Structure 1
């Protein structure tokens, strides 16, 4: 796999154009899978793995890679398949999700393909709630599945989803000082069922309601409906959006919000498992108010507080 990611740093110009690049791979069978290149740090032949006590069953060992100890997850097992035999002849995709670095054991890695988010579609309705997919697409007349990695990581290492009591009090105080009435309802857009639920439970822990949608296109259509029905601020106070989503990504959603005269004043928080300095530049370019890496409920709460506080009454 030498060289497959050599040009990854040159690919950042795709961000903000509703495009992405997928690294294609296979697990135990013929099915192809994809992962966003921006989440991939390295692909390598599976290194020597060290077994450790009390590891989650999906974690087959740890590897020491470039001075870092990384857990290696058998991706086939993680999505309910058979254990991967002979890891030494397989590959590890080193990736960064939600502020953590981990390796995913895969049988083979193929190539990188350039895609438009409009070609990335939500999973079929018949896939059921227990599936591990965030999206599907068609490449070379073959279905490619995009795995819900956030669901896998949440099962291996669950996180606390509630905001602190102190932060709840600060949000309530900021609301009292606001010049306008704050609607305690927030639009959440995320293609991961687990991520949507995490954000929903976090904001509900401080007394807000959630309007949850699964991608940017659905979010934008929902906002247009709200704008036509008495104005968007009658229905919600702000938007919390993932970046990677089928049909319309979070950057494009934000840019569309800023272009629309009835939506342009909405406070938009981009909340994503992506990381990297280029994201901060994109936040400014598309006009998002904040960028937060998943998932820390109090950081998310602080961003909600900032949204409420921007209408703070001036002291006279």
Structure 2
């Protein structure tokens, strides 16, 4: 039984509006004294295929920890993940009262076991806060953003990191630019890249680190930003400094790689704002996102992005940067 699906929800995908829709869902944490406490979480509607009752599952041999089993979702073999178990949240084990969020991004379908589904919120990315305002987040943190709604804090989870942790074989961590024969790593080319700087913008410390390691291993210098707001501020500062020095902005930054979903300012809005000004009209911008459907790619290009990459395809990153920077 489908409780909610993409077809029945008004998914917000307008270009550069800096808005999104999130599905609020809950895990009911069981406290030591037996009482329960509701934990509030969220996921971008654009990542959700449907929300269903818990389906019958089949055990999978030698499965990863927190993988309950597999089931068929629209003819696709789909792993069912114990989200509470992965998060370390003790919950009731009565599976008959639970639901499953079926996600569809990074060209993968996955199911996540939850206790209850609440509602869809339409919000501005400007109202989505970085978790670093609450705690010092690192690469192991699984919260990419926090939304304040009706006196509660909704944690937006880093589902890419969760999937990579549960199934390392599908993780971008497997990619090593140093053994990629399609990437030119001769001394002359690495030296050329040493003279160029790329800004990397992603709210996931895990993904940001992977991109940074890939590009820096090939020779590029990196400026890292945790969201579109920080990137826009830094780029404005660079433009002002370049103007005061009487030099081009390319003396300080040569390209931008940006995610789409980010607190404060999303990637689409960042591209729109950069192309509206004079300083970065010609700066190469590549969007790197788990939500890069054909429709979103068309919107990104229309806003002024030079190209797009779907997140599993990190192996394309260096050659694409070479294409636009040189």
- TM-score w.r.t. the length of structure 2 is 0.86
- Alignment correspondent of 1:126: 135
2:117 is matched with which residue: 106, 109, 116?
Answer: 109
What is the Cα-based RMSD across aligned positions, in Å?
2.3
- Alignment correspondent of 1:255: 272
- Please list every run of at least 4 consecutive aligned residues from structure 1 whose deviation after the TM superposition is greater than 3 angstroms: 1-8, 12-15, 127-131, 170-176
- Alignment correspondent of 1:186: 198
From the superposition, tell whether residues 171 and 52 of structure 1 become closer, same or farther in structure 2 (CA, over 3 Å).
same
Deviation at 1:64, TM superposition (A): 1.4
Deviation at 1:264, TM superposition (A): 1.0
- Alignment correspondent of 1:313: none
Cα distance per residue 1:154-182 (max 9 Å; x no partner): 21233323224433317988899x9xx98
Structure 1 counterpart SS, 2:218: coil
**Residues 1:25 and 2:16 aligned together:** no
Structure 2 counterpart SS, 1:167: coil
Deviation at 1:229, TM superposition (A): 2.1
- Alignment correspondent of 1:167: 182
Deviation at 1:96, TM superposition (A): 1.9
Q: Distance in 1 between the 2:256 and 2:55 partners?
A: 42
- Alignment correspondent of 1:145: 155
Structure 2 counterpart SS, 1:6: helix
Q: Distance in 2 between the 1:12 and 1:109 partners?
A: 19
- TM-score w.r.t. the length of structure 1 is 0.89
**Residues 1:268 and 2:285 aligned together:** yes
Q: Distance in 1 between the 2:53 and 2:306 partners?
A: 41
**Residues 1:288 and 2:300 aligned together:** no
1:232 is matched with which residue: 231, 240, 249?
Answer: 249
From the superposition, tell whether residues 128 and 195 of structure 1 become closer, same or farther in structure 2 (CA, over 3 Å).
closer
Q: Note if contact 1:274-1:293 (Cα within 8 Å) is conserved in structure 2.
A: yes
Which moved further from structure 2: 278-287 or 294-303? 294-303
Cα distance per residue 1:15-72 (max 9 Å; x no partner): 4210000011001331211100000011100101111121111211111122111001
Structure 1 counterpart SS, 2:3: coil
Structure 1 counterpart SS, 2:59: coil
Cα distance per residue 1:109-141 (max 9 Å; x no partner): 111111111111101342543432100011112
- Alignment correspondent of 2:62: 54
From the superposition, tell whether residues 68 and 84 of structure 1 become closer, same or farther in structure 2 (CA, over 3 Å).
farther
Q: Distance in 1 between the 2:75 and 2:230 partners?
A: 43
Q: Note if contact 1:203-1:301 (Cα within 8 Å) is conserved in structure 2.
A: yes
**Residues 1:307 and 2:324 aligned together:** yes
Q: Note if contact 1:175-1:308 (Cα within 8 Å) is conserved in structure 2.
A: no
The count of corresponding residues between Structure 1 and Structure 2 is: 305
Gaps of 5+ in 2: 30-37, 243-247
- Alignment correspondent of 1:79: 87
**Residues 1:298 and 2:315 aligned together:** yes
Structure 2 counterpart SS, 1:82: coil
Structure 2 counterpart SS, 1:11: coil
Gaps of 5+ in 1: 310-316
- Alignment correspondent of 2:32: none
Q: Note if contact 1:184-1:208 (Cα within 8 Å) is conserved in structure 2.
A: yes
Q: Distance in 2 between the 1:193 and 1:175 partners?
A: 25
- Alignment correspondent of 1:312: none
Q: Distance in 2 between the 1:72 and 1:165 partners?
A: 33
